[in-house]
Amino acid sequence: MSVTPEQIHAGQAIYTPRMLQFYDLRVLVLSNRWIWKCPTERLLAHYDRHVSGNHLDVGVGSGYFLDRCRFPTPAPRVALMDLNPNSLEFASRRIARYRPEVLVRNVLEEIAYDGAKFDSAGVNYLLHCLPGDMATKARAFDFLKPLMNPGAVIFGSQLLHEGVERSLAARALMAHYNRAGVFSNTQDDPGTLKRELEKRFSDVSIEIVGCAVLFSGRL
């Protein structure tokens, strides 16, 4: 399934400097707990379980999880990758103590990068913002794999449209985001995601929490 530059832009354009100031309250406090039924604490625990001291974060949002998670080392190597410079600036300021590397990249195309590879990659709440069906979104995994060391873990979460229980509020908000182009997840379900992960990774795990799926796999 082909996607246009306009579709790719729409999924990340909402992250303006003003919106990022309210992101934690709007998404992580209110929407996660009361609409998506996936409390932010569960997502943070997912980070704590999988993050390494040599970490790449893709689709960085506000940087909340990198700010709050427990890295296994006091001085981790952290790189931030996103197409939106506002998110990169906001998150890099938030975790300035780690001196993060900042990469403006599109994960749906080959990623130019000649630095050292990573032991973990986080893709939290990224996939539902990427255009196309699940097979199209999963190309992001193909482009990220060359940046990962053997045995590295990729982990993240995604809001799903199919195969999960959604309240009336969740259905309404998800429909609004899909109409606006912020989400593109009307064809996404946990089984298809698991199959795409298993094509590329070993030790694949998925867990449904509310409207979200938490997943991981190893290279």
DSSP-derived secondary structure letter, 164: S
User: Which residues on adjacent β-strands are paired with residue 102?
Assistant: 80
C-beta neighbour count of 210 within 10 angstroms: 20
- Tokens 């182009």 correspond to what residue? 181
* Band (86; pLDDT cuts 50, 70, 90): very high
- Confidence (pLDDT) at 55: 98
Tell me what the mean pLDDT of segment 138-143 comes to: 97
What is the model's pLDDT at position 15? 76
CATH number at residue 125: 3.40.50.150
Quote the mean pLDDT of the chain: 93
pLDDT tens digits, 11-65? 456 678 888 899 999 999 999 999 999 999 999 999 999 999 999 999 999 999 9
Question: Per residue in 105-118, pLDDT tens?
Answer: 999 999 999 999 99
Q: Tell me whether residue 45 is exposed, middle or buried, using C-beta atoms within 10 angstroms of its C-beta: 0 to 12, 13 to 18, 19 or more.
A: middle
For residue 70, is it left (φ>0), alpha (ψ between -120 and 50) or beta?
A: beta
State the DSSP code for 211: T
For residue 161, give its domain range: 5-218
pLDDT score at 199: 97
Prediction pTM value = 0.93
**pLDDT (tens digit per residue) in 145-164:** 999 999 999 999 999 999 99
pLDDT number for residue 127: 97
CB 87 within 8 A of CB 12: yes
Question: Would you mind telling me the total number of residues written for the chain in this entry?
Answer: 219
How many distinct helices (H) and strands (E) make up the chain?
9, 7
Classify residue 38 by its DSSP letter.
-
Q: How many CB atoms lie within 10 A of CB 86?
A: 17
Q: How many domains does the chain have?
A: 1
125 CB-side CA count, 13 A: 21
Q: Percent of the chain, pLDDT > 70?
A: 94
pLDDT at 3: 52
